[in-house]
Amino acid sequence: MNLIFFGPPGGGKGTQARLLQQRRGMVQISTGDILRDAVEAATELGVRARSYMDRGELVPDAVMVGIVEERLRLTDDAAGFILDGFPRTLAQAEALEELLGRLRRRIHRAVDFQVSAETLVRRLGGRRVCQAAGHIYHVEFTPPRRPGVCDLDGSPLYQREDDRPETIRRRMEVYRAQTEPVLEFYRTRGVYAALDAEGTVEEVYARLEAVLGL
Ligand code: AP5
């Protein structure tokens, strides 16, 4: 099954995509993680992307479409994939449709993570991410066993640069203005599914499996 995860910053897309990957073997393709790896490695892409990410703006469509095409070509068809954070604009959605047509693949569900603004602020304020592999924690809701250290690989946890209050505000505006209109694109194609993403990680996961019919 091939999925797209939509939702505002902090909606829980990355957390749930990683769970589906662990438990159901689907392949998570997170454009945010790919960009952060490039920034960390200071590649040409990373240097270019950083200026947009630090301001909470979107990286240009042509760059993002190229990245996703490369990843999709490397992904085994049998497992299914989860596009986490892509497409984020109508131009990206149209480019994806064209690309999937060429690869003879399709999207089965576009899941819309619905969360209140109050919850988003609490989730983003406490998020910590592991340096080595991007494992996601929260200081209050899903803390690591040892503060500041990843349970899974022992690497240090850090706070994302774009989780500062002024950047969070801008990311939310960008989501409303540029990404919410893309939901209509998938509604008209009959694959849209709303997900109540409030509650604990396991409560949301149970609802997600139900929405997907797993
Ligand atoms: P990206 O990394 O995709 O960020 P985002 O969409 O803003 O989403 P987040 O990663 O902030 O949130 P999430 O929904 O994954 O939440 P998470 O699971 O971590 O993009 C970053 C930037 O890259 C963009 O601003 C842009 O510049 C660029 N970019 C990326 N893709 C692009 C594209 N296609 N085009 C152009 N530019 C692009 O959860 C958040 C916190 O809450 C965590 O601490 C977690 O532990 C906690 N949590 C999660 N679920 C629960 C729960 N149920 N209960 C309690 N706590 C929870």
- DSSP reduced 3-state for 199: coil
The 8-class DSSP code of residue 38 comes to: H
**Nearest residue (CA) to ligand 1, atom 44:** 127
Alpha-carbon distance of 167 to 23, in angstroms, equals: 33
Ligand 1 first shell, C-beta below 6 A: 7, 9-15, 31-32, 35, 52-53, 56-59, 64, 85-86, 88, 92, 123, 126-127, 136-138, 141-142, 162, 171, 199-201, 204
Q: Is the pLDDT of residue 71 over 90?
A: yes
- Report the separation in Å between the CA atom of 56 and the middle of ligand 1, taken as the mean of its atom positions: 12
Lay out the sheet containing 192-196: strands in order across. Answer: 27-30, 81-84, 3-6, 109-114, 192-196
Alpha-carbon distance of 165 to 171, in angstroms, equals: 10
**Closest alpha carbon to 182 in 26, 75, 57, 174:** 174
- Report the separation in Å between the CA atom of 11 and the middle of ligand 1, taken as the mean of its atom positions: 7
**Per-residue confidence (pLDDT) for residue 79, from 0 to 100:** 85
DSSP string, 111-144: EEEE--HHHHHHHHHTEEEETTT--EEETTTB--
Of 28, 31, 37, best ligand 1 pocket probe by most atoms within 8 Å of the beta carbon? 31
Q: For residue range 15-52, what is the model confidence (pLDDT) as tens digits?
A: 999 999 999 999 999 999 999 999 999 999 999 999 99
| Residue 124 banded pLDDT, cuts 50, 70, 90 | very high
Q: For residue range 75-96, what is the model confidence (pLDDT) as tens digits?
A: 887 889 999 999 999 999 999 9
- Render the burial of 158-174: b for 16+ CB within 10 Å, e for the rest: eebebbeeebbebbbeb
Residues of the chain with pLDDT > 90: what percent? 97
Alpha-carbon distance of 13 to 86, in angstroms, equals: 11
- Report the separation in Å between the CA atom of 7 and the middle of ligand 1, taken as the mean of its atom positions: 8
**Nearest residue (CA) to ligand 1, atom 5:** 9
What value, to the nearest 5°, has the Cα angle with vertex 5 and ends 16 and 46? 95
Please tell me the pTM assigned to this model.
0.97
